[in-house]
A and B are shown apart, each in its own frame.
Chain A
Amino acid sequence: MTAAAQVTAPSMAFFPTSRRPAARRVRIIRERAIESILFLAALVSVFTTVGIVYVLIKESVVFFRQVSIVDFLTDTQWTPLFDDAHFGIMVLLSGTITSSIVALAIAIPLGTVIAIYLSEFAPFKVREVAKPFLELLGGVPTIVYGFFALLFVTPLLQHVYPGLPGFNLLSAGIVMGIMIIPYVSSISEDAMRAVPMNLREGSYAMGATRFQTAVKVVVPAAFSGIASAYILGISRAVGETMILAVAAGMQPNLTFNPLEPAATITAYIVQVALGDLPHGSVGYQTIFAAGLTLMLFTLACNIVGHVMRKRFREAY
């Protein structure tokens, strides 16, 4: 395609197209063809979404033919690979929720404070260094964070809680929280910086300090953006896999106590994938049902985020 363009482009200059109808037609056809190709490339994202929904629902339908949806939601045991199979997603969901709460309890306060600091307080030089650094922190592979949680943070926590098991939701959650900080802080900061300067100037003119302006003027004005940063943080935490698979263990455990080991939805998928289950077995289908649950959970997050953005949007 590019070669053709290179060859024909100069000739176009020598022969004005209006005098050569044939060349003009070729040119129009080529333009249309290129546009169609580009359009197809843009459609790939739609195909991806359709593919995800198709795969998850197709396998889940087979799964729910064998397991009733009531059992799936209410059973308190998750033993899909045993002879006495139980499929209570609550067991996995409890691990996901507990670890996410720990992570968000770290990421939201720290991320928000960092965002306020960088947007309203930090000198230019600090900002220039801190922003790329936070970006690097978000770029570290999650498996590395998992290793760090298992072999550094857990032993550290065991000094504080001597009875802490080697696998636990707490250390995985803490490390996950630190991993999420950059996502929360960078989006919140962008939202705060988008607040027009004259709002701040008005506040300063009334005699407010920097801190008062930040908390009472800038944060409320940027709230819709900050809320969507939180929502993104939540969906990151819920979908995070490797940190939990490595540091929180893979034992299903219905608990909301972060000091215990527990499998999450994502860790279960990894566990099954490692175990080489035959294609088409119930065990194989469970991971799609679990994936569907995960997908619905993050979709709900995205919708809530969208609604909040609309409701709290302040236009200037």
Chain B
Amino acid sequence: METRDLTAIRRLIAEHKRWDAIFGIIGLLCLMVGVLTFASLFVEMALNGFDRLSGSFFTSFPSRRAADAGILSAWVGSTLVMVVTALVAGPLGVAAGVYLEEYASKNWVTDVIEINITNLAGVPSIVYGLLALGLFVYQFGLGQSILSAGLTLALLILPVVIVATREAIRSIPKHIREGSYALGATQWQTVRYHILPYSSAGILTGMIIGMARAIGETAPIITIGALTFIAFLPASPVSAHPPYLNFEWLMSPFTVMPIQMFNWTSRPEAAFQANAAAAGFVLVFMTLAMNGLAIWLRYRLRKNIKW
């Protein structure tokens, strides 16, 4: 081969390799767009809201004066709504996941359920709000209560919990089930003593991710008509006298963190927007902590389990 050809080929190879390097840099730059956005979002919240983040911010009701306003009713409302959501979505989602993985036979009913779950995951969250407005608030007469909101968000995160449960169950090898059956266990005993315990970490991860999503959801809760100005707390769920537990709080009007933040964001005064930044900071911090916990759990899980 002549040397001229050789140098031409070498040049061609070098040129193509250069594209590799260029694309590597472009890829990193695109990732950086995400990183930068996130960083500036966090810093913006922190800078604007830092002055407002004090103890009294968490223990004050919203107020007409920005400096006195706090998120007491919002975080209490969010917590109570999350309790309802977790209590509804957890058992329902896990039961549905167990059914689809362990019990369902391959027929059209199962197909319909599976297609439904896939489709529901793609339905915009505001449509769940309309469902809740038409069904829970008016048809069932639950009103604009904590119960309505909790049920709405439970339906919203149900696909997340179901998919996580199914994935966790699917990763359990078949011989575990066979061992259990061989010892005379029924199907439910197998599920109860083997499948559920072994998949619990995976299910928990899915639950946390679902809850992190639910806590930041604003649109469906606005749609059911949650009030933005709530200067009281729902009745306490626990009391010092018998019967100790009461459920009045379920029907109470409420507000949640994202709605409180929306309310402050849409005001023109800078002082209220500082409140919004502070509330946003708390919200981002909470969802980050929950998502981080889920990611860490999953990482631990992947490392530790060897069947």
Contacts and interface: CB of A to CB of B under 8 A. Distances in A.
Interface of A: 2, 5, 9, 12-13, 16-17, 27, 30-31, 34-35, 37-39, 41-46, 48-49, 51-52, 54-56, 58-59, 110, 113-114, 116-118, 121-122, 126, 130, 132-137, 139-148, 150-152, 175, 178, 181-182, 209-212, 214, 232, 235, 238-242, 245-246, 266, 269-270, 273-274, 276, 279, 287-288, 291, 294-295, 298, 301-302
B197 interface: no
B232 interface: no
Contacts of B96: 38, 41-42, 44-45
A175 B38 CA distance: 11
B202 interface: no
A219 B40 CA distance: 32
Given A45-B159, A117-B30, A246-B262, A139 B287 contact: yes
Interface in B223-277: 223-225, 228, 258, 261-262, 265-266, 273, 276-277
A139 B213 contact: yes
Contacts of B192: 2, 5
B153 interface: no
Contacts of B116: 45-46, 48-49
B44 A117 contact: no
A43 B158 CA distance: 12
B134 A55 contact: yes
7 contacts: A55-B135, A116-B27, A117-B24, A142-B218, A144-B283, A211-B19, A291-B126
A108 to B, nearest CB: 12
A232 B158 CA distance: 18
B79 to A, nearest CB: 16
A51 B99 contact: no
B179 interface: no
A212 B258 CA distance: 46
B34 A134 contact: yes
A121 B25 CA distance: 10
Interface stretch (B56-64, B65-73, B170-178, B182-190): B182-190
B19 A209 contact: yes
Given A121-B27, A209-B17, A246-B262, A35 B135 contact: no
Contacts of B135: 51, 54-55
Contacts of B24: 117, 121
A51 B16 CA distance: 56
Contacts, number: 271
A134 B34 CA distance: 8
A52 to B, nearest CB: 5
Contacts of B44: 148, 151-152
B31 A56 contact: no
B31 A130 contact: yes
Nearest to B259: A143
Contacts of A279: 138
Contacts of B262: 143, 146, 242, 245-246
A1 to B, nearest CB: 9
Given A31-B187, A139-B288, 4 more contacts: A34-B188, A38-B95, A246-B262, A287-B130
Interface residues of B, number: 92
Interface string B98-116: 1110011000000011001
B122 A302 contact: yes
B130 A291 contact: yes
Nearest 4 CB-CB pairings of A with B:
A239-B124, A117-B27, A141-B216, A55-B134
B92 interface: yes
B218 A141 contact: yes
B131 A48 contact: yes
Contact of B188 (A30, A48, A152, A269): A30
B120 interface: yes
A27 B186 contact: yes
Contacts of A134: 34
B113 A239 contact: no
A5 B113 contact: no
B218 A143 contact: yes
Contact of B155 (A48, A117, A182, A242): A48
B95 A42 contact: yes
Nearest to A114: B30
Contacts of A295: 123-124, 127
Contacts of B134: 55-56, 58-59, 288
B113 A181 contact: no
A38 B99 contact: yes
A43 B110 CA distance: 9
B95 A269 contact: no
B23 A49 contact: no
Given A136-B38, A211-B19, A52 B287 contact: no
B149 to A, nearest CB: 13
Given A9-B189, A45-B159, A48-B120, A178 B34 contact: yes
A41 B222 contact: no
Residue among B35, B133, B162 with max Cβ neighbours from chain A (10 Å)? B133
B222 A273 contact: yes
Given A117-B30, A209-B17, A294-B124, A42 B218 contact: no
B212 interface: yes
B129 interface: yes
Contacts of B16: 209, 211-212
A182 to B, nearest CB: 8
Nearest to A247: B265
B140 to A, nearest CB: 11
A38 B117 CA distance: 15
Contacts of B91: 41
Contact of B124 (A35, A48, A235): A235
A150 B265 contact: yes
